[in-house]
Amino acid sequence: MPQLTFITPDSTGRIAFTPGSSVREILDAAGVPIRSGCRGNGACGLCIVQVENGEVNGFTKNELLLLTSDQIDWNARLACQLMPEGDLTIRIVGAASSRGWRVLPPSRLSSAFSNLRPLAANESKGSTDNHYGLAVDLGTTHISVSLWDLTHANRLSGRVGLNPQYRFGTDVVTRLIAAGESPENARRMALKPLYAIGEALRDMCLHDGIDPRMLTRVAIVGNTAMLALLTETDPGILLRPHSWTQPFDCRQDRSHSWVNLLGVHPEASIEVVSPFAGFVGSDLLAGVLASHLTDNPGGLLIDFGTNSEIALWDGNKLWITSAAGGPAFEGCGMQCGMPAEPGAIYRVGPVPDSTYFHLEVIGRGKARGICGSGLVDLIACLRGAGALTPTGKLTPPHSKDGFIVQPEPMIRMTHRDVDMLQRAKAAIGVGIKTLLNVTGMSAKELSRVCVCGAFGEHLNICNAQRIGLLPATLPERIELCGNTALAGCERLLLSPTGAEDLESLRQRATIINLSQSSDFESLFLESLYLQPLMTD
């Protein structure tokens, strides 16, 4: 039986395989992680490997389209398109990010919840003196969780890690389609995040010396698609445009099995907070609660993510919408991209009298890729240096094979990477402009702009405004709020009035479906330009 030898920066391994499978299928079957966002059809261009030796098939059309001439010269291939004909040795270039859970520090929003009245004993089930709860933000790319002592309203620890559903695609539509293909797919996609949440919970409980069976409450928020997949709600509903402004209720009918999977108290309350409507999830409503957006008129909240959500409070009504940002803000889906974790370039700045840029890396180790905030900085710097046009075209000598951010290991930003960020930012731009138009407000009238999500934690506000990602309001009115969805979920977990507060928001909210906007196309095209966002 032939063998596939694979080399990663950390290890070397061998896998026996039966001819007829692609390299990606062989790696997947052996549990070897490799980046991918297209379910193996050659559309994303992420699963890059370098052929060291061995007989393989010729380049496919997708490879010739997605790989640069430079990559082709050094025998780069897409693992999902590469069919070994015998023994093969490859070097994995597109290695997947670590699946390990990272410690999630408390945000300034969640730390404020320690002032809430501790829950009375009769408000939690169980017979122990102390009661514990778990808050979960189920995102498309990441899952964030935090463990709380409910008796004393004290946050104990938090974790963040990748949503393991990424194997089915990096965007929500691809995953919804995959879930609709068979009940088996739907069940697997529901179980994967549950297993992951249980793993994170056990990690935190072990660290804090807590028996998971002492957890009596679990609250879960997320975008609509992720909650639909988690609860095995018909995914086809979200694929029908006429339903995008309709209420969407996610009910989980397997509470007993969820209790067993998570290992919590047998009578624990597990609440999946239902989305608002369409692609506007409970994560946005939780974020509005946590940020106190409705305290003053003119508050704008942008929750950046694969499915980005936007809310604007005009003093009487909460106007909300969603935009298909795609995985660019999460640093995924791009050859040079990675999530905001150790090894990611998160900040880029010019070096005086030099053509090079100063790079700052999370964890201060060797850079392995560039996350969303770093990409925004890089694009702004290239625009300032004249190496990138307002339409997103790299100028010579970078126009052919992309801009080399770091030579070793190679990190290269291509036209395709720029295009992905442009499209994501244009979708956000349409959402902002539409909400401002419907309220009759201008960007100058915004009292505050809350930038939410992991993407916003390291964002350079001036660079984001320079390329048109954020509205042209006073920079001091823009707040980097971090994960407001998790903070809001924590508030729902802790506050006796949380459910009432959330229902009050629902009653005052109106959803805008951008796909039905008559000027969507014109707004999108003008928002593609890498220049300040014009909203007046």
CATH number of the domain to which 30 belongs: 3.10.20.30
Q: Do residue 45 and residue 11 come from a single domain?
A: yes
Does residue 327 have a pLDDT over 80? no
Of 44-48, 272-276, 291-295, 461-465, which range is least confident?
44-48
The pLDDT, as a whole number, for residue 534 is: 75
**pLDDT band with cut points at 50, 70 and 90 for residue 73:** confident
Does residue 485 have a pLDDT over 50? yes
- Which residue, among 368, 319, 314, has the nearest Cα to 341 in the 3D structure? 368
Q: Is the entire prediction scored with pTM above 0.85?
A: no
Q: Which strand (E) or helix (H) includes residue 380?
A: helix 372-384
Does residue 122 have a pLDDT over 70? no
Q: Give the mean pLDDT of 219-243.
A: 91
The pLDDT, as a whole number, for residue 360 is: 94
Q: Do residue 187 and residue 47 come from a single domain?
A: no
Q: Do residue 47 and residue 121 come from a single domain?
A: no
- Which residue, among 240, 214, 229, 250, has the nearest Cα to 131 in the 3D structure? 214
Q: Give the mean pLDDT of 22-26.
A: 92
In a domain, 515, yes or no: no
Q: Do residue 165 and residue 276 come from a single domain?
A: yes
In a domain, 51, yes or no: yes
| Cα separation, 418 vs 375, whole angstroms | 9
Of 51-55, 353-357, 445-449, which range is least confident?
353-357
In a domain, 474, yes or no: no
Among candidate residues 263, 282, 301, the one where a domain is terminated: 282
**pLDDT band with cut points at 50, 70 and 90 for residue 38:** confident
Does residue 387 have a pLDDT over 90? yes
Q: Do residue 195 and residue 238 come from a single domain?
A: yes
Does residue 305 have a pLDDT over 50? yes
Q: Residue 72: phi, psi to the nearest 5?
A: -65, -35
Residue % of the chain over a pLDDT of 70: 93
Q: Do residue 85 and residue 188 come from a single domain?
A: no
Q: Do residue 78 and residue 112 come from a single domain?
A: no
Does residue 501 have a pLDDT over 60? yes
Query: Is 293 within 8 Å of 312 (Cβ atoms)?
Result: no
**143-174: string of b/e by CB count within 10 Å (b at 16+)?**
bbbbbbbbbebebbbbbbbbbbbbbbbbbbbb
Q: Do residue 233 and residue 265 come from a single domain?
A: yes
Q: Give the mean pLDDT of 104-130.
A: 56
In a domain, 442, yes or no: no
The pLDDT, as a whole number, for residue 536 is: 64
The pLDDT, as a whole number, for residue 325 is: 77
The pLDDT, as a whole number, for residue 128 is: 47
Segment 397-450, tens digit of pLDDT? 988 888 999 888 888 898 989 999 999 999 999 999 999 999 999 999 999 999
| Cα separation, 261 vs 433, whole angstroms | 44
| Cα separation, 153 vs 150, whole angstroms | 5
What's the number of domains the chain is made of?
Answer: 2
Q: Do residue 253 and residue 197 come from a single domain?
A: yes
- Which residue, among 349, 346, 407, 405, has the nearest Cα to 371 in the 3D structure? 346
Does residue 113 have a pLDDT over 80? no
Does residue 111 have a pLDDT over 80? no
Q: Do residue 271 and residue 129 come from a single domain?
A: yes
Q: Give the mean pLDDT of 57-72.
A: 89
Q: Do residue 130 and residue 217 come from a single domain?
A: yes
pLDDT, mean over the chain: 88
Does residue 112 have a pLDDT over 60? no
The pLDDT, as a whole number, for residue 428 is: 95
Q: Give the mean pLDDT of 245-265.
A: 83
Q: Give the mean pLDDT of 350-377.
A: 87
**pLDDT band with cut points at 50, 70 and 90 for residue 67:** confident
Domain that holds residue 31: 3-92
Q: Give the mean pLDDT of 213-232.
A: 95
Among candidate residues 282, 297, 323, the one where a domain is terminated: 282
Among candidate residues 60, 92, 124, the one where a domain is terminated: 92
In a domain, 433, yes or no: no
Segment 136-169, tens digit of pLDDT? 999 988 899 999 999 999 999 999 998 999 878 8
**pLDDT band with cut points at 50, 70 and 90 for residue 94:** low
In a domain, 13, yes or no: yes
The pLDDT, as a whole number, for residue 144 is: 95
Q: Give the mean pLDDT of 61-77.
A: 88
The pLDDT, as a whole number, for residue 518 is: 83
**226-258: string of b/e by CB count within 10 Å (b at 16+)?**
bbbbbbbbebebbeeeeebbeebebebeeeeeb
3-state secondary structure 360-378: EEHHHCCCCEECHHHHHHH
In a domain, 129, yes or no: yes
Residues in Cβ contact with 325 at an 8 Å cutoff, skipping those fewer than 6 apart: 304, 305, 306, 307, 308, 424, 427, 428
The pLDDT, as a whole number, for residue 125 is: 45
Q: Do residue 152 and residue 28 come from a single domain?
A: no
The pLDDT, as a whole number, for residue 127 is: 46
CATH of the domain at 189: 3.30.420.480
In a domain, 437, yes or no: no
